[in-house]
Structure 1
Amino acid sequence: MGGHLTKKGTAMRYKITGKHIDIGEALQTHVKTELVEIVGKYAERPTDAQVIFSKSGHQFVTEVIVHLSTGLSSQAKGQENDIYASFDSAGAKMEKQLRRYKRRLKNHHNERAEPVELSHASSYILAAESGVDDQEPDSLQPIIIAEIETKIPSLSVGEAVMQMELSSSPVVVFKNEGNSGVNVVYRRDDGNIGWIDPTRTG
């Protein structure tokens, strides 16, 4: 993992990997140069970036995750026939996300004295139902095929919505800083954002 200075003079660390793909020096230099330009314009003190290249059929897929000093992160994915174009596509999506929240990201950096607190949790992958569509399953007990360690951030509802937008995620699970309860924000089919808070009843 190497460091690279952003426009604000802070070093951003990089981890650039390829899944069964050789990542040459020219591509790594392109990634670092472009990310410094993109992130440096909109984000306050990015800490590290993870870039993963892979293939899906005949196309290249690039996943980019940039972590900010406050604990939030931005995430984007690109898929193109050319590996450089796949990264550029992901970079363009990330720039759009960061540009949209430029003012709020700056305010978030200035107003949050401490980084977002993260709580450890376990995430499970359950096996999909198999067999004929109209066949009743033998048991309602799900089959766990993988367990993954994850982290739940402590956020305000507004921060959770911003994190969902920055990561292009359909849902964000978080601890509500207002009441310490586990909350969920998610994208609704009608285009609005849903918020679930079990502590708010009546």
Structure 2
Amino acid sequence: MNINYHGKNITVTEDLKNLAEKKLSKLDKYFTEDISAKVIFEVNKKNQKIVEVTVFLPKDIIRSEVNEESFEDAIDRAIEILSRQVRKYKTKLKNRYVSNDSIRFENFEEANEEHESKEETGKIVKEKSFQFKPMTSEEAILQMELLGHNFFVFSNPDTGDAEIVYKRQDGNYGLIERER
């Protein structure tokens, strides 16, 4: 696994890199060497340690973000979450990667399969259609806040493309737009 490290409000030391690499090696049994991952270390204003791990598969992205008192605990929990996600969606991932060798399905624990298969998977329980209204991202954020939603889909008046604004865990906003 090819790992890139980034730091927010912190300098990523060799010790942190080594710790993350050692912990992330537990995921090597699921993925081949050509998979890349990004690890972001952050210290917030409350001095909490935040670790965000993103694994980039050819067709999917698997991500976890954890707040803990120490980076070691945060990395441990992030790895647990990622492992659980991969095991939970094993069948769906297997169907998507039939002709691709990015995931090593033979290394999944067979003992957990019975328990994992009993877990409920989300299903669509409501469908909604609406017309995208042309507006700026600032107007979309205002509309999102007025509706009390965590995200809002709108049409960019300049390009006509559908875009999404969303509220981040840190209280800021994100914008998702089509790659050009």
User: How high is the TM-score relative to the length of structure 2?
Assistant: 0.53
Aligned counterpart, 1:108: 96
What letter matches 1:55 in structure 2? V
Q: Per residue, is there more helix in 1 or in 2?
A: 2
Aligned counterpart, 1:50: 38
Aligned counterpart, 2:81: 93
CA change 1:92–1:46 in 2 (3 A) is farther
CA deviations on 1:149-188 (whole Å, 9 max, x unpaired) are 5459xxxxxxxxxxxxxxxxxxxxxxxxxxxxxxxxxxxx
CA change 1:20–1:42 in 2 (3 A) is same
CA change 1:111–1:17 in 2 (3 A) is same
| Matches for 1:1-202 after TM superposition, within 5 Å | 12-38=1-27, 40-43=28-31, 47-56=35-44, 57-68=46-57, 70-111=58-99, 125-126=137-138, 128-129=141-142, 149-151=177-179
Structure 2 unmatched runs, 5+? 102-135, 147-155, 157-164, 166-172
**Structure 1 residue 89 displacement after superposition:** 1.5
CA change 1:83–1:150 in 2 (3 A) is farther
- Name the SS of the counterpart of 1:126 in structure 2: helix
Structure 1 consecutive aligned stretches of length 4 or more whose deviation exceeds 3 Å: 43-46, 127-130, 144-152
CA deviations on 1:39-87 (whole Å, 9 max, x unpaired) are x23345652101111123221111111011x321101111001122112
Identity %: 25
In 1, distance between residues paired with 2:55 and 2:3? 9
CA change 1:151–1:46 in 2 (3 A) is farther
Matched residue count = 120
In 1, distance between residues paired with 2:174 and 2:69? 32
Structure 1 unmatched runs, 5+? 1-11, 114-123, 134-141, 153-202
CA change 1:81–1:146 in 2 (3 A) is closer
In 2, distance between residues paired with 1:45 and 1:110? 18
User: How high is the TM-score relative to the length of structure 1?
Assistant: 0.48
- Name the SS of the counterpart of 2:65 in structure 1: strand
CA change 1:147–1:112 in 2 (3 A) is same
What letter matches 1:83 in structure 2? F
In 2, distance between residues paired with 1:48 and 1:92? 18
